[in-house]
Amino acid sequence: MSDLQSPANTTAEGRTTGSKTAEEAPTEATAGADQPTASRRRSLLPQSTLLRHLLVLLLAAVGAVVLLEITDPFTNSQLATLTYYAIAAGGLTVLTGMNGQISLGHGALMAVGAYTTALFLSADEPLPLPLILLAAIVTATAVGALVGVAAARLHGPYLAGATLALAVGLPGLAIYFHDVLGGEQGMRVRAPRAPEAFESFISAVSGNSATNTKWLAYLGAICLLITYFLLANLIRSRIGRTWRAVRDQEVAAELAGINLGAWRVLAFVVSAAAAGLAGGVLALVVRLAAPSGFTLVLSLALLTAIVIGGLGSLLGALLGSALLVFLPPFVTDLGAGWGLDNTEAAQLAPFVYGVVLIVAMIFAPAGVVGTLRMRWLTRQAKRSAAQSSRG
């Protein structure tokens, strides 16, 4: 639970050092802090938040296409895996980083999305894919709203406990209703084949063969970009500011007329929607929705991803997810290269992951993105302080 406390503590620190140095000093150490002062400096980007985000979205889309076309098929499949982790982590970082609520139950919400997708796809004539993914989002949102209502009344460890129960209990439903949901071995998912437009798009862009793996990676990337675009806008809007107010100063927020409970539920619902979509993409990429895929380990992995990346930052969530996906195979191969046998090399991966987590806690307590941003803002503040004292 100290994770939750740390942003608040560092915030206080940031504020004191900030007021000492200058007016434009960082007031937030959390990666999620938006700095209108900072963005005003970037004259290259449009003033309007929406336009700016659209521009970033466009650049990211081009970047995604380039990345997917220059990498080999295996990296494509890893990137597809990355997309569903990143979508879920993005939703979780809004909840935890922006609104200060912790959830150990996002794995279960992903399960809801995955099973919804699997059920809709198992129909004789399945609906179009976007509709199915929408259904996954809606179902997970409904479950999230239910949990959110309970969560809004709880704090810190109690909230963690309640969502923990969700993570442990919900996959059990799949075993209880095994006639419909396939029990322990789950429901196999046949991902719809790529449309012809996709094949012609790929051959026009790079001339690579449009494999199913590639199609799923693109599908995940599209979902990821849309999710992050929407979340980024939300964070910069009145809603995002209200969430931060609820997170940082409950009393002040309540005095300002903010209904704490309602805003907490909303944060949970938004975050659940992202988890639902992530679950849907997971079902397509993994080709299976099974209870053993949604254990507590998944929920904890998402939480560590956003902590390592930087709470409240979408970029941090993306980086943290990348670490989840790319670190274990990298370490395993490294271990095998050192002459360890395959079993020992496999056992090395969780160990190194733990070490990375501890190192990140010690040297970058606000996460990678959070710490970098804090450094940058501090330097900016110092420079402007020096300027003002000179002038």
Partner 1 sequence: MTAIAAATAASTLAACGGSDDGGGDGGGGGGGDASANEASDIGITEDSIKLGAHFPLTGVAAPGYSEIPTGADAYFDCLNEAGGVNGRTIDYIYRDDAYNPTTTSQVVNQLVLEDEVFAIVGGLGTPTHSAVLDFLNSEGVPDLFVSSGSLLWGADPETNPYTFGWQTDYESEGKIIGEYIAENFPDAKVGLFLQDDDFGEDGEAGIRQYIDDQIVAAERYTPGNTNVGPQIAALQAAGADFVVGFNVPSYTALSQLTALQLGYDPQWFYSNVGSDPTLVGNLLNNFSQGTVSDASLLDGALTTDYLPTVDEPDNPWVQEFQRIWDECGGDGELTNYRIYGMAQAYTTVQALQAAGQNPTRDDLIEAIEIAGGDWEGPVLAPFRYSEESHMGTAGMSISRITGDTTEQVEPVQLTDIGDAPIEDFDGEPAEVPENGIPNEESVMD
Residues in touch with partner 1 (CB under 8 A): 72-74, 76-78, 81, 172, 175-176, 178, 183-186, 188, 190, 212-213, 282, 285-288, 290, 292-293, 295, 297-298, 325, 329, 332, 341-343, 346-347, 349-350
User: Residue 116's closest CA among 211, 181, 52?
Assistant: 181
Do you know the residue count of the chain? Answer: 391
Residue 100 backbone class (left: φ over 0; alpha: ψ -120 to 50; beta: rest): left
Nearer to partner 1 among residue 273 and residue 285 (C-beta):
285
User: Residue 233's closest CA among 57, 62, 45?
Assistant: 57
User: Residue 119's closest CA among 105, 139, 100?
Assistant: 139
- In which element (H, E) is residue 188 found? strand 187-188
Nearer to partner 1 among residue 226 and residue 297 (C-beta):
297
CB of 117 to partner 1, least distance (A): 14
CB of 316 to partner 1, least distance (A): 22
Handedness of CA 139, 140, 145, 146 (dihedral sign): positive
CB of 370 to partner 1, least distance (A): 28
User: For residue 176, with 0-12 CB atoms within 10 Å meaning exposed, 13-18 middle and 19 or more buried, which class applies?
Assistant: exposed
CB of 194 to partner 1, least distance (A): 12
CB of 288 to partner 1, least distance (A): 4
Residue with tokens 């994770």: 3
Nearer to partner 1 among residue 293 and residue 367 (C-beta):
293
Nearer to partner 1 among residue 72 and residue 124 (C-beta):
72
Nearer to partner 1 among residue 267 and residue 286 (C-beta):
286
**Cβ atoms 117, 133 nearer than 8 A:** yes
User: Residue 152's closest CA among 272, 273, 266?
Assistant: 266
CB of 129 to partner 1, least distance (A): 17
**Cβ atoms 57, 231 nearer than 8 A:** no
CB of 81 to partner 1, least distance (A): 6
Nearer to partner 1 among residue 48 and residue 212 (C-beta):
212
What is d(CA 32, CA 110) in angstroms, rounded to the nearest whole number?
23
Nearer to partner 1 among residue 5 and residue 342 (C-beta):
342
Which two three-digit tokens encode residue 147?
A: 């949990």
CB of 205 to partner 1, least distance (A): 20
Which two three-digit tokens encode residue 62?
A: 């081009």
Nearer to partner 1 among residue 289 and residue 381 (C-beta):
289
